[in-house]
């Protein structure tokens, strides 16, 4: 025993004098920990890191979403304070809208048992029960629901309704189905009015998808092109007609002249606009200086002929 103790004591003394030797003793443990970390790391490398799954490059071009179609609409100025008092007219307006648009899900009695709502999860709101309301049954709450929908449910936004129609609907629902409907405070109504800019009203210009817009531009160009070609044919056929004769006399470039005249409808308003257009644009629009020698009655003939032609 004593020998052992002495040996340990000697070793400890030795270590005290040469602390670097501790590393030698710890070396196997460091090695084991290192291997362990490496093992854990390899186990957690993603598939891409291991290269076991081929990379797929997404075709980002094919994922481009076009602009959605937005109908232009005018939101009339709305006096929320006035409409917050349910008039008979307002309530019956709401009733009519409700039976055409909402009954399918919310049911005739507002219990959320309409046929179209049967398969929905969450179920359409039962207006006669006080529980479950997300935006609430105040005018401001129902208005919000109708403007924004309830995300993640079958209740979509009904944005084609005017603010007055939305308030009419909420008045009808509150009056007919909701038991003891809570009343909006003045502040809540003011907030509602401000949030949806109801006192100002709005004019939303609408928007069409780019691909439709392109098609329209091409179509428009195509119709104009067709118009020019058929006018040109007609003029050739009409060679004995005074109007066609004048056209031939005053143009250097017939296609250019016809294109200039099809690009705007302005000149069809009256003869003076027509004369101004031809004289002012002259060379640019394919006409020549012979226009200056046209008499008043020549202009009449020319104008009448071109108006009929295009
Ligand atoms: C396609 C079925 C469907 C139609 C149509 C529908 N709703 Fe809903 N509505 C729902 C569903 C589903 C909910 C429940 C949403 C939830 O709980 O998340 C709901 C909830 C509501 C709520 C309660 C929102 C809240 O605060 O919890 C109101 C108010 C409402 N609808 C009004 C209307 C009105 C008014 C119409 C007609 C203009 C209408 N709904 C048409 C399905 C519909």
Report how far ligand 1's centroid is from the alpha carbon of 125 (Å).
6
pLDDT at 177: 97
Structural domain containing residue 26: 2-50
> What gap in Å lies between CA 40 and CA 37, rounded to an integer?
5
Report how far ligand 1's centroid is from the alpha carbon of 162 (Å).
17
pLDDT at 34: 92
Q: Do 131 and 165 lie in a common domain?
A: yes
> What gap in Å lies between CA 43 and CA 157, rounded to an integer?
48
Query: Contact, 67 vs 207, CB < 8 A?
Result: yes
pLDDT at 71: 66
Q: Do 237 and 114 lie in a common domain?
A: no
User: Does residue 171 have its Cβ closer than 6 Å to ligand 1?
Assistant: no
Contacts of 166 (CB under 8 A, 6+ apart): 142, 143, 146, 147, 158
Closest atom of ligand 1 relative to the 145 alpha carbon: 24
pTM of the full predicted structure? 0.55
pLDDT at 203: 74
For residue 63, give the DSSP letter.
G
Q: Do 186 and 219 lie in a common domain?
A: no
CATH number of the domain bearing residue 171: 1.10.760.10
**Number of structural domains in the chain:** 3
Tens digit of pLDDT for each residue in 38-51? 888 888 876 666 66
Q: Supply φ then ψ for residue 24, to 5 degrees.
A: -60, -45
Query: Contact, 154 vs 170, CB < 8 A?
Result: no
Residue 59 inside a domain? The answer is no
Q: Residue written as tokens 């979403």?
A: 65
pLDDT at 190: 95
Closest atom of ligand 1 relative to the 158 alpha carbon: 38
User: Does residue 101 have its Cβ closer than 6 Å to ligand 1?
Assistant: yes
Report how far ligand 1's centroid is from the alpha carbon of 203 (Å).
27
User: Does residue 105 have its Cβ closer than 6 Å to ligand 1?
Assistant: yes
Region at 149 (left for phi over 0; alpha for psi -120 to 50; beta for the rest): left
Q: In which residue ranges of the chain is pLDDT below 70?
A: 1-3, 46-64, 71-73
Count of CA atoms in the C-beta half-sphere (13 A) of 297 = 1
User: Does residue 118 have its Cβ closer than 6 Å to ligand 1?
Assistant: no
Which of 126, 93, 122 has its CA nearest to residue 108?
Answer: 126
Residue ID of nearest Cα to ligand 1 atom 18 = 153
CA angle 153, 156, 159 (to 5 degrees): 160
- Both tokens of 282, joined, read 């002259």
Q: Do 84 and 192 lie in a common domain?
A: yes
Closest atom of ligand 1 relative to the 142 alpha carbon: 29
Last residue of a domain, one of 204, 222, 254: 204
pLDDT at 59: 60
């Amino acid at each position: 025993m004593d020998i052992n103790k002495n040996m340990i004591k000697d070793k400890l003394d030795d270590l005290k004098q040469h602390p670097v030797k501790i590393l030698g003793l710890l070396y196997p443990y460091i090695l084991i920990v290192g291997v362990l970390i490496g093992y854990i790391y390899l186990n957690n490398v993603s598939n891409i890191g291991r290269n076991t799954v081929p990379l797929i490059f997404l075709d980002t071009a094919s994922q481009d979403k076009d602009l959605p179609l937005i109908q232009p609409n005018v939101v009339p100025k709305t006096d929320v304070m006035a409409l917050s008092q349910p008039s008979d007219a307002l309530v019956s307006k709401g009733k009519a809208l409700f039976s055409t648009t909402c009954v399918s899900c919310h049911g005739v009695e507002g219990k959320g048992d309409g046929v179209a709502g049967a398969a929905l999860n969450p179920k359409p709101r039962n207006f006669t029960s006080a529980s479950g309301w997300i935006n609430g049954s105040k005018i401001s709450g129902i208005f919000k629901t109708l403007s924004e929908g309830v995300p993640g449910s079958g209740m979509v936004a009904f944005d084609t309704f005017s603010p007055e129609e939305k308030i009419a609907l909420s008045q009808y629902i509150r009056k007919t189905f909701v038991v003891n409907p809570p009343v909006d405070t003045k502040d809540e109504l003011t907030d509602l009015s401000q949030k949806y800019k109801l006192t100002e009203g709005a004019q939303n210009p609408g928007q069409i998808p780019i691909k439709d817009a392109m098609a329209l531009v091409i179509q428009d160009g195509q119709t104009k092109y067709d118009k020019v070609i058929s006018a040109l044919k007609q003029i050739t056929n009409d060679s004995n007609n005074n109007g066609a004769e004048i056209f031939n006399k005053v143009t250097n470039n017939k296609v250019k002249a016809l294109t200039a005249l099809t690009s705007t409808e302005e000149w069809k308003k009256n003869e003076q606009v027509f004369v101004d257009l031809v004289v002012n644009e002259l060379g640019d629009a394919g006409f020549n200086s012979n226009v200056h020698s046209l008499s008043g009655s020549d202009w009449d003939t020319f104008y009448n002929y071109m108006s009929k032609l295009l």
